[in-house]
Amino acid sequence: MNFKYISIKNFRSFKDIQIRISNKSVFFGLNDVGKTNLLTALRFVFDRNMRKKDFIDSDYFKKNVSDPIEIVVCINIDDQNDDSAKIRPYIKGAIKSGQKEIYIKLVAKYDESELIGSAEMWWGGDLEELEEIKSSGNRFDIDNIFNVFYIDSYV
């Protein structure tokens, strides 16, 4: 299992970007260029505790709450390791045999009456034909696969 890229739209400092990533990526740069925002986008996709917080208006690029936040992560599962083999049964019909990539998509539409954006998620082997990830509250089926440990940079 190898990360390929992350695509981020309308999230914090990112209007619309796509960044190639791998399992061992290094992010460096000056202060206030988006390193933390990139990692936060990944956390919203993979970290149930992060999704519990929902999205607030300042999470939207220039507070443009009329456009949804969209985060897509592409993962290659072509290799024959245990992690790749464990993912297929969870995704079941959303990925067909022969498909070697998984797309995980998070969308957060802002609710003006609640003043938050809640995550909805999809996954599959074809970005144009994703299936909704089953959820109960802020817990999605994806949380049965990925377990995120975040170590704050101040530690």
Residues 6+ away with beta carbon under 8 Å from 118 = 54, 55, 108, 109, 111
Average pLDDT of span 123-144: 92
Average pLDDT of span 114-133: 96
pTM of structure: 0.93
Look at residue 153 and tell me whether its pLDDT is greater than 90: no
Confidence of residue 28 (pLDDT cuts 50, 70, 90): confident
| Cα torsion angle, 68, 40, 150, 106, sign | positive
Task: Let me know if 19 is exposed, middle or buried by CB neighbors in 10 A (0-12, 13-18, 19+).
Answer: middle
Choose among 48, 103, 100: nearest CA to 74.
103
Average pLDDT of span 66-85: 91
Structure tokens, 3: 């990360």
What are the structural domains, with CATH classification, of the chain? Answer: 2-140 (3.40.50.300)
> Strands 139-140 and 69-76, how do they pair?
unpaired
| Cα torsion angle, 70, 22, 52, 129, sign | positive
Looking at every residue in the chain, the average pLDDT score rounds to 92
